């Protein structure tokens, strides 16, 4: 292996994590009635793999560039996000096994099983938030690592420098739009939590589910906050990049 290879292992992402993500993606692809409910999750699980594969193929020519890119990837929290996402995928795969153990490809009751009760719906919402946040962190973190390597390349041609500057602008715009989206989502989660907290339910069972749902909204806020923090780190990294003049 290249001593300056930015492999997933080099930044702390385990193969067990990647296997858990792949397993859930394959399960969801095989469930016909999962498409309407978890189609976006399936896409984002696939989208997590693409930039990680690109990371494996990055060529780093010298140790200082390798160390800089590795350090900045670690600052974004990408390994923690992916490893925790893998753990969540593993747990969700086990839940799907229970929900679908009496089903078959032509008669799947997944829709009803996933939609029953406020608590299950909110659980799924939390999982989707975590996967989406993980995908965003991975994409932005690795895009920034690629730019670090390009900027540090002394032998870059004029065309390559122009492309680097263009990529930097595109990435900065994408991050800004994403932060705006997560800020809106945070506000929606907070409002949903306030609505739940304002309910005065005398039914003990319903009140128990309400409290569980409130906990789920707190988890959603946590994942969105981690997403925003990673975006802030990437923005800081990009602000320090001195893209060579044309």
> Are the C-beta atoms of 17 and 82 separated by less than 8 Å?
yes
pLDDT band at 117 (very low <50, low <70, confident <90, very high): very low
> What tokens appear for 72 in the block?
């900045």
> For the segment 28-41, what is each residue's pLDDT rounded down to a tens digit?
887 766 666 677 88
pLDDT band at 130 (very low <50, low <70, confident <90, very high): very high
Give the C-alpha separation, 219 to 29, whole Å.
26
Nearest to 80 by CA among 5, 9, 8, 13: 13
From the centroid of its chain, how far is CA 237?
Answer: 19
pLDDT band at 122 (very low <50, low <70, confident <90, very high): confident
3-state secondary structure 40-83: HHHHHHHHHHHHHHHHHCCCCCCHHHHHHHHHHHHHCCHHHHHH
At 175 the pLDDT is 94
Give the C-alpha separation, 213 to 197, whole Å.
10
Average pLDDT over residues 71-89: 92
pLDDT band at 181 (very low <50, low <70, confident <90, very high): very high
pLDDT at 199 over 70: yes
pLDDT band at 157 (very low <50, low <70, confident <90, very high): low
> What tokens appear for 199 in the block?
């309910």
Nearest to 38 by CA among 79, 95, 87: 95
> Are the C-beta atoms of 114 and 142 separated by less than 8 Å?
no
Nearest to 150 by CA among 236, 230, 61, 79: 61
> Are the C-beta atoms of 42 and 92 separated by less than 8 Å?
no
| C-alpha distances in Å from residue 146, one per residue of 52, 79, 202 | 12, 17, 56
> What tokens appear for 136 in the block?
């965003």
Give the C-alpha separation, 223 to 230, whole Å.
11
> What tokens appear for 220 in the block?
């959603």
Structural domains in the chain, CATH included, are: 4-242 (1.20.58)
At 227 the pLDDT is 94
pLDDT > 90: percent of the chain: 35
For the whole prediction, is pTM greater than 0.75? yes
Give the C-alpha separation, 238 to 159, whole Å.
20
pLDDT at 88 over 90: yes
pLDDT band at 177 (very low <50, low <70, confident <90, very high): very high
At 160 the pLDDT is 66
At 102 the pLDDT is 63
Of 5-19, 137-151, 200-214, 227-241, least confident by mean pLDDT is: 200-214
Most confident of 112-116, 176-180, 203-207: 176-180
């Amino acid at each position: 292996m290249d001593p300056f290879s930015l492999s997933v292992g080099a930044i702390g992402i385990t193969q067990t994590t990647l296997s858990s993500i792949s397993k859930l993606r394959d399960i969801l692809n095989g469930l016909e009635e999962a498409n309407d409910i978890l189609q976006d999750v399936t896409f984002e699980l696939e989208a997590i793999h693409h930039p990680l594969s690109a990371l494996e193929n990055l060529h780093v020519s010298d140790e200082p560039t390798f160390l800089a890119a590795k350090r900045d990837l670690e600052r974004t929290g990408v390994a923690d996000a992916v490893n925790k996402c893998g753990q969540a995928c593993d747990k969700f795969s086990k839940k799907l096994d229970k929900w679908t153990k009496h089903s078959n490809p032509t008669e799947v009751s997944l829709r009803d099983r996933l939609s029953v009760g406020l608590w299950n719906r909110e659980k799924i919402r939390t999982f989707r938030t975590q996967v989406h946040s993980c995908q965003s962190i991975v994409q932005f973190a690795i895009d920034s690592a690629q730019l670090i390597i390009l900027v540090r390349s002394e032998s870059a041609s004029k065309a390559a420098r122009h492309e680097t500057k263009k990529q930097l602008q595109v990435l900065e715009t994408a991050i800004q739009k994403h932060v705006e989206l997560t800020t809106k989502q945070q506000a929606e989660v907070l409002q949903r939590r306030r609505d739940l907290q304002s309910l005065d339910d005398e039914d003990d069972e319903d009140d128990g589910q309400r409290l569980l749902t409130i906990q789920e909204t707190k988890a959603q806020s946590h994942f969105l906050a981690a997403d925003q923090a990673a975006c802030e780190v990437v923005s800081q990294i990009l602000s320090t990049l001195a893209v060579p003049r044309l």
